[in-house]
Amino acid sequence: MGVGNDVIVKASQGKDESAARQALLSMLDAEPPRDLPPFQKLMINEARTEAVGLLIAHRVADVVPVLRRWARSIASDIGPVDPRTVELVQTGLVSFQADEALPELRAMLSSANPQVHQAAVSSIAALDIPEALDIQEQIVRDEGANPSLRCQAATALVRAEKDAGRALLLESYRRYNESEGVTKRNVETLTATMRLNGKTTDELKQLAADNDWSRAHETRYAAISELTRRGGSEMIPFLEQLKPWTNPSGVEPVCGLVEGQKQVMQDEIVAPAIATLRLRAEREAARRLKNNAP
Residues 32-59 have pLDDT tens digits of 666 767 777 677 777 778 888 888 887 8
For residues 261 and 267, give the distance between their C-alpha atoms in angstroms, rounded to a whole number. 10
Higher pLDDT, 257 or 254: 257
Q: What percent of the chain has pLDDT over 70?
A: 77
Task: Determine the pLDDT at residue 238.
Answer: 96
Q: What is the pTM of this model?
A: 0.49
Average pLDDT over residues 24-31: 68
Q: Which of 191, 135, 193, 192 is nearest to 164 (CA)?
A: 135
Task: Determine the pLDDT at residue 210.
Answer: 95
Task: Determine the pLDDT at residue 1.
Answer: 42
35: DSSP letter: T
Q: Which amino acid is at 176?
A: Y
Task: Determine the pLDDT at residue 208.
Answer: 95
Task: Determine the pLDDT at residue 191.
Answer: 61
pLDDT band at 91 (very low <50, low <70, confident <90, very high): confident
DSSP 36-78: S-HHHHHHHHHHHHHHHHHHHHTT-GGGHHHHHHHHHHHHH--
What contacts 288, CB < 8 A, 6 or more positions away? none
Is the pLDDT at 270 greater than 90? The verdict is yes
Phi-psi region of 125 (alpha: psi -120 to 50; beta: other; left: phi over 0): alpha
SS3 212: strand
Q: Which long-range contacts (CB under 8 A, 24 or more apart) does 187-191 make?
A: 188/218, 188/221, 188/222, 189/221, 189/222, 189/225, 190/222, 191/222
Is the pLDDT at 289 greater than 60? The verdict is yes
Task: Determine the pLDDT at residue 227.
Answer: 92
pLDDT tens profile 208-255: 999 998 888 888 998 998 899 888 899 999 999 999 998 877 777 677
Q: What percent of the chain has pLDDT over 90?
A: 13
Is the pLDDT at 110 greater than 50? The verdict is yes
- Nearest-Å Rg of the Cα atoms of the chain is 27
Is the pLDDT at 149 greater than 50? The verdict is yes
Angle, vertex CA 112, rays to CA 109 and CA 114, nearest 5: 80
Task: Determine the pLDDT at residue 220.
Answer: 92
Q: Of the spans 129-138, 180-189, 272-281, which averages the highest pLDDT?
A: 272-281
pLDDT band at 120 (very low <50, low <70, confident <90, very high): confident
SS3 34: coil
For residues 85 and 160, give the distance between their C-alpha atoms in angstroms, rounded to a whole number. 29
149-177 b/e (C-beta count within 10 Å ≥ 16 → b): bbbbbbbbbbbbeeebbbebbbebbeebb
- Find the helix packing angle between 17-29 and 64-76, rounded to 10°: 20
For residues 266 and 273, give the distance between their C-alpha atoms in angstroms, rounded to a whole number. 10
Average pLDDT over residues 165-171: 76
Average predicted confidence (pLDDT) for the chain? 78
Higher pLDDT, 183 or 44: 44
Task: Determine the pLDDT at residue 163.
Answer: 74
Is the pLDDT at 3 greater than 50? The verdict is no
pLDDT band at 107 (very low <50, low <70, confident <90, very high): confident
